[in-house]
Structure formats: structure tokens, C-alpha cells
Homo-oligomer: A and B are copies of this chain.
Amino acid sequence: MSEFIFKEQANTSLREKVTNDLREAILNGDLAPGARIKEMDIAEQMKVSRGPIREAIRQLEREGLLVSYPYKETVVADLGASEVQHILNPIRFHIEWYVVRTYLNLMDDDFFAKLQAIVDDMHASVAGGEKNRLVDLDLLFHHSILELATERTVMLTWQSIVNQIRLHFAKNLPFFDHDHMASDHQALLDAFRSKELERIQAAIVAHLGSDENLLCFSR
């Protein structure tokens, strides 16, 4: 057989689509924090049975987007800014810094080009006022970095926090300096290109570490 002409057809189960759609609705704000999730409602709107819905709920619960009270109800989670600042962002920082310093040698021209394309798109999004796209690109940038790692735990941990970060963005995006968001990632990329660990660390700290919660790692 000829090989690798076509990309493998994604075998997405209904459950997976439901999970994605539900997550999207939460991050959109269509389902605001505190909103109750009624299985039957969702099932009817999506024209599927409750089975896949329930499985999706279990998954989103573990992603921190839903909170479920047995035999009672499940509601959309709320998230304080301080939790992002003191807990989630430091974890992001830690993982990313680990991956970067461990897999720096895997960063080649192709990789840099890919990141540069994302940053360029970010600038375009800012200019065009496409705020949601800006968030997607921001997280895609970081996702691309984490893809360098082979450890399953890296992606697993990322997935356990990334959607809470998205929720935070959705809530607070209006208060962010969008220009700064784009140029910040350019600075990160430039630091990667230099391959100087200290400069890279400083860039990541500047990007993720707030002044209130300064982190310094050695090695």
C-alpha cells in the first residue's frame, strides 16, 4: 500500500463530540458559571441519548469546568482570578519551563517557523479585533511547545488546567492588553531562538509569573 498520503480519519465518538460542544458552550459563556446542567435538556438539544452526555460530564468535571453533586445536580464551575494567579499559572510555568529546558535541542527552524506563524496570526487578530481567536492562538502557542515532550503526564496535566485558563480568559479578556499579549509571545519566541536558558527563563517568568508570586528555579 502507498503510505502517508492521507491523514488518518479521526474516529470521534459521539461522546467526544458532546464533550467538545459542551466545553465550547461553557467557554463561550453560553453556559455561565453557576448554570445548571440538565442532562435531558442537553440530550434533547443535541439529539442524543443521555449516556454520552453523562460520560462527557464526568470528563468535564475532572477538567474543572463542571461541579457535580450526586443525585442532585451538576453546575458550571466558577473560578477566581486568584486561583489562576496562585495555582494554575504557576503550574503552567513549571511545566513549560521543564519542557523548554529539557527539549531545547528539539527546537529547529521548522518549529520556530510554526511559532512565528502563530505570533503573526496573533498580531493580525489584535488588528482585526478577533478576541476569541487571540485566546486560541495564545494557548496554541503554548500547546505547541508542550508537544515537544514525550511524557504523557505533560499533556495530561496541561489538559487538566488549560480549559480553566480558557474560562479565565473568557471572563477577563476585556481587561487584558491585547497588543501586549501578542508582543509578549514574540519575546518568548525570540528568547527560544537565542537558546540561552537564562534569557528563556526570564521570558517565561515575565509571561506567566506575576510579581506577587515570583518563581525562580535552578537547572
A residues near B (Cβ < 8 Å) are 11-13, 16, 51, 54-55, 58-59, 61-64, 67, 70-71, 77, 79-80, 82-83, 86-88, 90-91, 94-95, 98, 102, 151-154, 156-157, 160-161, 164, 212-219
Contact = CB atoms under 8 A, between A and B. Distances in A.
Contacts of A61: 59
A49 to B, nearest CB: 11
Contacts of A218: 214-216
Contact of A12 (B67, B70, B153): B70
B83 A151 contact: yes
A182 to B, nearest CB: 28
Contacts of A219: 212-214
A215 B217 contact: yes
Contacts of A153: 64, 79, 83, 87-88, 164
Contact of A217 (B55, B58, B216): B216
A13 B77 CA distance: 21
A215 B67 CA distance: 33
B94 A98 contact: no
A62 B162 CA distance: 13
Nearest to A82: B151
Contacts of A71: 11, 13
Contacts of A79: 153
Nearest to A59: B58
Contacts of A213: 217, 219
B216 A216 contact: yes
